[in-house]
Amino acid sequence: MANYFRITAHLKSENVSFIADSNGRFEKLWQFSAYLVAKGCTVYAVSTEENLIPCGIKPIPFNENRFVIRACAMGTPTWTNETVDGVSHKSNKTVHRSSSRSKRRMKTNRSPSQCFFPSTE
């Protein structure tokens, strides 16, 4: 998973927030971010395989032709600070709230609200 990236972004024209994963389509994280920005998205959070925290959203298999939208919600992301195992993280409540319906399809044992991105503060 050397090229595994996860991005939280907002597409203002549609007022939709989403989490997208890429595993092989982009060589560098900045390429994935730049692609989304070129499409009109505002990027809020980025993760690589090194700082991706295990959560209810399982990694996708290698695919050099596509990236996958893992969760989405109407509106901009709402962030809260949470502490898990003594480490502070930012949790994206907006995206995770609406992804709970997809939890059943993903057959995960953890709530999507437990999926965190490392705090940059």
pLDDT tens series, the chain, 121 aa: 578 999 999 999 999 999 899 999 999 999 999 999 999 999 998 989 888 766 677 888 998 889 999 888 888 887 777 776 777 766 666 555 444 444 333 333 333 333 333 333 3
Rounded to whole angstroms, the Cα distance separating 65 from 76 reads 28
In degrees rounded to 5, what are phi and psi of residue 24?
115, -20
Q: Model-level pTM greater than 0.85?
A: no
Closest residue by Cα to residue 25 from 42, 41, 10, 7: 7
What is the distance, to the nearest Å, from the Cα of residue 106 to the centroid of all Cα atoms in its chain?
A: 15
What are the angstrom distances between the C-alpha of 33 and each of 2, 39, 55, 63, 118? 16, 10, 22, 17, 17
What is the residue type of 98? Answer: S
Q: Which amino acid is at 82?
A: E
Tell me the domain boundaries of the chain.
4-118
